[in-house]
Structure 1
């Protein structure tokens, strides 16, 4: 016998396919719950969910679904249980870019808490690459201006990169390694400058210490 109890977070949609195979393989018998009609027959109880078009979706923040027990004359074991997630996924909203425009190499994201996000990576100058037989073009002259950004009480300057600002540490010369950026909304980034030397320019993880 088998039963499934499934809990869902807000705005999560799943497409469910459950298959029970055991000694039934010998007789060619199996139990499959796949179609809309199959799921309507298999549901023992539900709370806060809607079953439509082969998907199960919560009506609010949470939902619960429990299927009926499948009984057999003899004991048997399930060999497989498959639950497939629907390609319809409504739990996120796409944006153009999550990190600084000039972030390079393998970035590392550290979420300290809500509204406190850090990104680590190499600092790129976005200098145009030279075509074969031609000289590389120079970056256009840029004069930084004083700026203010909500959530940051330090002096800031604008940069040539969109939605990016330099904190005092961001004005320090690089050391050949990774730099650090901080954001409150994952859109506007404050550059705090270099955090590793050139010999440790490849970083794979980061953690918050003594915070």
Structure 2
């Protein structure tokens, strides 16, 4: 069995190491806090995570080059933890994009209106639609006004009819009361007794006035009683 030629792989590894040293040179030569002080919060988190991942990857590669089982080493667990931070950073970026991706209806309406401003047919249809809406609103308002007016007229008529009925009832009660009072006065008035005496003539009446006041009806009765008493004695 022929052994594979490892020289190309070694050359490739040497080139990759040179690239890593060149990339990490700015971070190694200066303090990491100085490099991250001017960065935004999200970019700062990305830089810290990438530097940690680079160091852990170099240690993982070093263990494998020395023939050790790197997957059972604590470095592998650290690499897994760093990868979880990558997912968290990605989630933070996408959630920010989703919040900004909400549709601004007012802005969209302005863009559409501005884009369709030169369309004569669209302008004509829009004007017709606005006119129809305006006429429809006017008709609804007139119908409501007419209904309210008819209702108020009907209510006024019903109130007037109720007032007329009440006045008519009061007048009837007054008539009944007046007729009852007349009947009571007629019943309570004494009846004049007709005199049994014959009417006097002018001469006799004059002679009676000269003689004095006329005797009342009770006087003859008294005289009669006296006369009866004398007869009994």
TM-score category of the 2 structures, normalised to the smaller one: under 0.3
Q: Structure 1-normalised TM-score?
A: 0.17
From the two aligned structures, give the one with the greater strand fraction.
1
Higher relative contact order (CA 8 A, sep 6+): 1
From the two aligned structures, give the one with the greater helix fraction.
2
Q: Structure 2-normalised TM-score?
A: 0.16
* Greater Rg over alpha carbons, structure: 2
